[in-house]
Chain A
Amino acid sequence: MMKLLTRPYLTPLLLSLLISACAGMGNQSSLYQQLGGQPAIDTMVDRLIVLHAQTPEIQQYFEQSNLQRFRDKLSEFICFISDGPCEYSGDSMALTHGGMYISDREFNTGVDLMIQAMDDSGISLSARNQLLARLARLRSDIIEQ
C-alpha cells in the first residue's frame, strides 16, 4: 500500500499545478505583439496560401474560393484571436467550414502547414504554440461537419 502512495500519480498532479502557476505569469505583451504584429501575420498567411496550393488534399477545398477574401479574412481572424487591434468581419468557423466535411487527417495537415508557415515567417516557437493552443479549440467547429 505504501508503494501505491509513492511517486507515479504525483507527477500529473505536480505538473498540473505547475501549468496553472505558469499560466498566470510571464510575458505581459499581447500574443499579437509576440507574433510580430500585422506584418508577420500577413507574411504567414501568404506563405500558408502557397503551402495550401502545393498540397493537393488541402488545395481541392480552395478550388472555388476567392483567395483574396480568404487572405484578408484569415489575416484579420488571426489578428483578432491573438488579441490584436482587429474586429473579425468574416463568417464564423462553423458557418465557413460547415458542409466541407474536413476530415481529422486534413485538419491535422492544415495545422502542419500552419506550423510550417509560421516557421517560415520567423514567428517564435513560444508565440506559435500560444496561437496553436487558441486555434486548437476551434477544431470541433471546423472538422467533420
Chain B
Amino acid sequence: MKTVLSLLLCLVASSALADGKLLGTPGASTFEGAGGGGLVPWATISGYGSKTEFGGAAFYNNVRLADFNMDIVGAAIGYDNRWELSAAHQVMEAAANGAEMAQTVYGAKLRLAGDLIFTKAPQLSVGVQYRDLHDPAMGFNRGASDDNGVDYYLAATKMWMNGPFHRNLLVNLTARATKANQTGMLGFGSADDSGYEFQLETSAGLFLNRHWAVGFEYKQKPDRLSQPEDDWWNVWAVFFANKHVSVMAAFADLGSIIGSDRQRGPYISLQFAL
C-alpha cells in the first residue's frame, strides 16, 4: 500500500504530467482501488496518461451506513493507457461495538482492445484482484472457508459523445468470477461451496456538462454464508474540477450486513489524479 502511494508521489515529482485523456474519461476510483465508478470497475485505465505515459489516481472514500462506517484509502497507477495496478485498504467498523472488518485489495488490469470513445466496439479490459482479509474471525464464524481470494473480471465500457439529450453517455458492463463474501470483508467461499460464482455488475452515467456527471451502478454478489448478503447499488454524482481533483457523492445501498438489514447511506470519494 505504502509503496503504491510513494510510487504515485514519485510520478508527481517527476512531473511527467500526463493529460492525454479528455476530462472525466478515466472515471473515478472504485472502493477497491481499480478505476471505474464507485462500486464497479470499468475497462478504463486510471489517470490521464495516454500511450507510453504514466498516470494515476489516489483516493479517500467514506461510506456511512446505518450501522457501519467504511473508510478506504487507495491508489492506482496506469501506464500506456493499457496497464493498471491498484491497491486499496478498506476498514469497516460497526458503530455499535467498534468491531472491525479490514482487508487490502490489490488489483491489476489490462486493456485488451478498443477505445472508450473512438472505436465502435467498447473498450475491453480484463482484471484480477487479490484480496487479503486482515482478521478472518468474523467471516469464519459465519461459515467462510478462506481469508484470501482472487477475483477475475472482464469489463466492457463505452462512451457515446452524442448520447441522450446530446450529452456524453457512458455505459459499462462487468462480468466477475469471485468467491468473496461481502466483497471479501467476510472471507471467501463457504464450507460447502468454495467454487467461483459468476456475477454481473453494471454502471451508467451521463455527463451533464464537462464537469458534472450523474449515474447509477448495480453490483451482483454471491450469498452463501449463514447471514444473508444482498446485491449492492448506488446513485452517484461526480464533479471533475479539473484533471487532478474530482469528488464523487453517492447514495449507496449495501443491503444486509452481518444481520443488520437496510444498510444504506451517503458515499463520498475524493480523488486526486494525474
Query: Is A15 within 8 A of B204, CB to CB?
Result: yes
Query: Is B22 within 8 A of A111, CB to CB?
Result: yes
Task: From B53, B160, B220, give the contact of A105 (CB < 8 A).
Answer: B53
Q: Which residues of A contact B51 (CB under 8 A)?
A: 103-105
Q: Which residues of A contact B210 (CB under 8 A)?
A: 115, 119
Tell me if A83 counts as interface (CB < 8 A to partner B): no
Q: Tell me whether A129 and B161 are in contact in the complex, defined as CB-CB below 8 angstroms, given that A12-B173, A15-B171, A109-B19 are known contacts.
A: yes
In the complex, which residue of chain A has the Cβ closest to the Cβ of B223? Answer: A3
Number of residues on chain A facing chain B (CB within 8 A): 33
Min CB–CB distance A40 → chain B (angstroms): 16
Question: What 1/0 mask marks residues of chain B from 25 to 59 whose CB sits below 8 Å from any chain A CB?
Answer: 00000000000000000000000001101000000
Interface of A: prevailing SS? helix
The stretch among B92-100, B103-111, B162-170, B179-187 that forms the contact with chain A is B162-170
Query: Is B169 within 8 A of A15, CB to CB?
Result: yes
Q: Which residues of B contact A126 (CB under 8 A)?
A: 165-167
Task: From B50, B160, B200, give the contact of A19 (CB < 8 A).
Answer: B160
Number of residues on chain B facing chain A (CB within 8 A): 37
Interface of B: prevailing SS? loop
In the complex, which residue of chain B has the Cβ closest to the Cβ of A14? Answer: B204
Q: Which residues of A contact B204 (CB under 8 A)?
A: 11-12, 15
Q: Which residues of B contact A6 (CB under 8 A)?
A: 220, 231
In the complex, which residue of chain A has the Cβ closest to the Cβ of B21? Answer: A108
Min CB–CB distance B195 → chain A (angstroms): 15
Report how far A22 CA is from B162 CA in the complex, Å: 10
Query: Is B164 within 8 A of A19, CB to CB?
Result: yes
In the complex, which residue of chain B has the Cβ closest to the Cβ of A27? Answer: B166
Query: Is B202 within 8 A of A9, CB to CB?
Result: yes
A-B contact pairs, 14 of them (CB 8 A): A3-B231, A7-B218, A12-B171, A15-B204, A18-B164, A19-B169, A22-B165, A105-B53, A108-B50, A129-B161, A133-B161, A136-B118, A136-B161, A140-B118
Which are the 10 A-B pairs with shortest beta-carbon distances? A105-B20, A126-B166, A133-B162, A8-B200, A133-B161, A105-B50, A8-B202, A11-B202, A104-B51, A104-B50
